[in-house]
Structure 1
Amino acid sequence: MEKIRHSKFYDLFLNTLSKKMVMGFILIIALGTIFLSLPVATYGHTVSFINALFTATSATCITGLTVVNTAETWTPFGQVAIMVMTEIGALGYMTFTVLLFNIMRRHLNLSTQLMVKESLNLEHLHDTKSVTRYVIGLSALFQIVGMILFAFDFVPRFGWSQGIYISLFHSVMSFCNAGFDVFGNSLMGFRNDSYMLLVTTILIVAGGLGFLVWRDLLLYHERKRLTLNSKLTLVTTVSLFVVGFLILLVTERDLSWLPKGTSWINRTVNTLFLSVTPRTAGLVSLPTDGLHPGSVFLIMILMFIGGTPGSTAGGIKTTTFGVLMIQSISQLRGKRDAEFAHRRFSQANVSRALLLIFMASVVIALATLVLTQTEKIPQNFGLEYIVFEVLSAFGTVGLSLGLTPHLTVIGKCVIMLLMFIGRVGIFTTLYTLSRRQVKKNLIRYPEENILIG
């Protein structure tokens, strides 16, 4: 398989797989839109097609940006439809295809295995079956445990039936890093409930860490080692978590604007939650539009970075950020290679990371430019009002400064496209839109340097 990676056959096949993956997500969004357009999905009023499409896109792309209030607009039928789309979008529709094949006791053909390999960012083809079992098993385990833990809090509040339902819904949304809620104001009413916020935080981190990293951690007692990908992911994730938490403690002055009766424990937990949720979760316990400008800027950076490849998170991913940081430090120190954990990154890795950053920046810049022409910025906001929303959509986060409910039709289309690109991936999208062909250069021109910086 590795021998044909750069051949015309593999390139053509990868292009076909990318198109199938994109079409699969589009099919899920289309079906979701149909379900959300049914009268039984809403509380006595009709939701426009564009709003149903926007909600279906946001759910399938595990974002959580909403143009209508989830609790007030969607009935339990509509909410379950959103939950199912979120689950499929988070784990990848190919994972459910493999599950269906296993239930039917059918063997995966080569085409299906390759699609699973690409959708889960696997390195080897023979990992498809084992990793898929881990994805399904771990996801089910985390969400069931999360539902049970939430039930201790929600059942006394809402009763058995409603409490269990809310526990399940919130567990799915937390693990899948989606920002939908059934409370009407996200988690604003739970800022003094440290237990619920901590359980939510754990589920968000678990979902954003990545299935391959979890597999490495669970098999560590047998292998006695972690892969380079897992090591870089863990170091980068912990570093961003600690740095983000400390900066927010400073910029928000330990949430000093909260009521005087708020304990220091609740202030710390809310700050901790605020440092985690921008990593593509979208659930908030504090009003985003009331945060300090420094906090908003930090959140935008965290949304751009996102989570881990092969996880339920979006953004450019922690490994991309980690590779470029290490490469930059190596260059500043005069080193030729980017080294980490007694290994060096290949030039192909560094080039791919640079290309991803560049393409993401171009997409974000173009989307921001369009929205500045179609959307109205309130007097108490500046350009950050739009950039924040763009980064939230691209990073499949779901946080908002208030723009989403007031988007124009063009604005909704731009945000939907951003959410789709953020979930499917820039490279997959480019493969689908392009007619790329591998060409062997028979001539190589002389090398020459130019002035940089």
Structure 2
Amino acid sequence: MKIWHMRFLDTLSKKMVFGFVLIIALGTILLSLPAATRTGQETSFLNVVFTASSATCITGLTVVNTATHWSIFGQVVILGMAEVGALGYMTFAVLLFNLIRRHRNMGLSTQLMVKESLNLETLSDTKSVMKYVIGLSAAFQVGGVGLLALDFVPRYGWGRGLYVSVYHSVMSFCNAGFDVFGNSLEGFRHDPYLLIVTIILIISGGLGFLVWRDLLLYHERKRLSLNSKLTLVTTGTLFVVGFVALLVTEGNLSRFADQMAWPNRVLNTLFLSVTPRTAGIITLPTHSLHAGSIFLIMILMFVGGTPGSTAGGIKTTTFGVLMLQSIAQLRGKDDVEFSHRRFSQANISRALLLVFLASIVIAVATLILTQTEKIPRGYGLEYIVFEVLSAFGTVGLSMGLTPDLSAVGKIVIILLMFIGRVGIFTSLYSLSKRQTRVNRIRYPEENILIG
């Protein structure tokens, strides 16, 4: 049974990787059409692939300005790729299956693929979770459009206002980071209403569909799953700690005291603590932040959001498990416990392996970019590391490196975005040709010096 499961994971991983590659390829073809760019604009093939990859991997890093370079058609293509990339192509495949073949149920293989791709515990969860994924996504994004239209329609009129509302709602919920304003939300830092709606959409998309299902069904079940409890505690802790730390490092944006009242500065700082959770939308120029703030944002980008959500990074549950593991070890306890439950050793080992592999990928990418990219005067290694973490965490924030990337640099960032969205384990499964073997011989155990 275990061997069959491993073989199935290999097959699933290859299909998932192929699916994302197919979406990127389709997006590349559409963005290469003359109708995708504004009159007089030209886009190199590598820049088209980069944009398609960034959209599909819901990152938001751009080598050209989305608002001024791409036409309405091009912007809509980017919007569509972000939507598919955020919810996963398996979600749309199942939705299409249900629309075409209403009289038939999903086959066993399809249900197994949905179960694995959404990290579900049981096969019986597939249909109900799919309904929540599609329903919640539609509800949040449509609700976001309505709330944003109250702000944008009076500004731009009905046509432009609704278009901007749809675009910003989708990109905020999908944590994609693309915008049609030209400078993200830097021109709206004095608009508390818009910032609050955007924060709600970002958190909603990054919290995860399984967690939302647990919360909505709490009145019936009277309990939350261990995954949801750990997610909520870790997410809440990171928000609070990140917000307070950024208040300190940025001095509550005291340099804007003559432009913004203190409540608005507090709200912008809160926004700054939310957006590194893979949203990529910014109200303040990243290069203007203090060194301590840059460091905190890099940590938040590395952690990312929740498994099964629109966010990237190593995920909050991974971070939470390792924090609990560290606390247990410091207390001299063998078991890692949370909410009257004990994590399995396999769970902990998987979390450790994920962080180790992520660190290796980030280190190798950073080393390559230090050789291929030029660091401007006044910046240090953080100029490159920030970009690497942003790509791996599918965040989309940049200190200015992306538009000036070399050809090799663009390829490295594309691979980072792809690995960050698909997942390290999925990427490795799809590339491996290993044979699953059962060890019949175990050698004697012996300890070495650690630390």
Superposition TM-score tier, normalisation by shorter sequence: over 0.9
User: Alpha carbon RMSD of aligned pairs, Å?
Assistant: 0.7
Q: Which of 60, 75, 80 is the equivalent residue of 1:79?
A: 75
Percent identity, please: 74
Kept after mapping to 2: 8 A contact 1:101/1:107: no
Q: Which of 150, 156, 159 is the equivalent residue of 1:158?
A: 156
1:22-421 aligned at under 5 Å gives the runs 22-44=17-39, 45-104=41-100, 105=102, 106-421=104-419
- Tell me the alpha carbon deviations over residues 364-397 of structure 1, each in whole angstroms, 9 at most, x when there is no partner: 0000000000000001100000000000000000
- Tell me the alpha carbon deviations over residues 15-72 of structure 1, each in whole angstroms, 9 at most, x when there is no partner: 0111011000000000000100100010022211111110000000000000000000
- Tell me the alpha carbon deviations over residues 130-152 of structure 1, each in whole angstroms, 9 at most, x when there is no partner: 10110000000000000000000
- Tell me the alpha carbon deviations over residues 408-428 of structure 1, each in whole angstroms, 9 at most, x when there is no partner: 010000000000000000000
Q: Distance in 1 between matches of 2:7 and 2:86?
A: 27
DSSP-derived class of the 1:125 partner: coil
Q: Give the TM-score normalised by structure 1.
A: 0.98
Q: Which amino acid aligns with 1:371?
A: L
Q: Give the TM-score normalised by structure 2.
A: 0.99
Q: Distance in 2 between matches of 1:10 and 1:252?
A: 49
Structure 1 position 124, deviation (Å):
1.2
Structure 1 position 110, deviation (Å):
1.9
Q: Distance in 1 between matches of 2:8 and 2:342?
A: 30
Structure 1 position 259, deviation (Å):
4.8
Larger displacement relative to structure 2 (401-410 or 41-50): 41-50
Q: Distance in 2 between matches of 1:348 and 1:144?
A: 40
Structure 1 position 261, deviation (Å):
3.3
Q: Distance in 1 between matches of 2:147 and 2:262?
A: 24
Q: Distance in 1 between matches of 2:207 and 2:324?
A: 20
Q: What stretches of structure 1 of length at least 5 have no aligned partner?
A: none
- Tell me the alpha carbon deviations over residues 221-241 of structure 1, each in whole angstroms, 9 at most, x when there is no partner: 000000000000000000000
User: Is 1:18 equivalent to 2:16 in the alignment?
Assistant: no
Kept after mapping to 2: 8 A contact 1:11/1:437: no
Q: Distance in 2 between matches of 1:345 and 1:12?
A: 25
Q: Distance in 1 between matches of 2:196 and 2:285?
A: 18
DSSP-derived class of the 1:216 partner: helix
Q: Distance in 2 between matches of 1:175 and 1:125?
A: 27
How has the CA–CA distance of structure 1 residues 21 and 328 changed in structure 2, closer, same or farther, with 3 Å as cutoff? same
Larger displacement relative to structure 2 (120-129 or 198-207): 120-129
DSSP-derived class of the 1:257 partner: helix
Kept after mapping to 2: 8 A contact 1:255/1:267: yes
Q: Distance in 2 between matches of 1:65 and 1:102?
A: 34
Q: Which amino acid aligns with 2:108?
A: L
Q: Which amino acid aligns with 1:432?
A: S
Q: Distance in 1 between matches of 2:320 and 2:188?
A: 34
Q: Distance in 2 between matches of 1:369 and 1:181?
A: 30
Q: Distance in 2 between matches of 1:13 and 1:341?
A: 32
Alignment length (residue pairs): 448
Q: Which amino acid aligns with 1:377?
A: I
Structure 1 position 9, deviation (Å):
1.9
DSSP-derived class of the 1:137 partner: helix
DSSP-derived class of the 1:255 partner: helix
Following TM superposition, the consecutive aligned residue runs of length 4 or more in structure 1 with deviations greater than 3 angstroms are: none
Larger displacement relative to structure 2 (100-109 or 330-339): 100-109
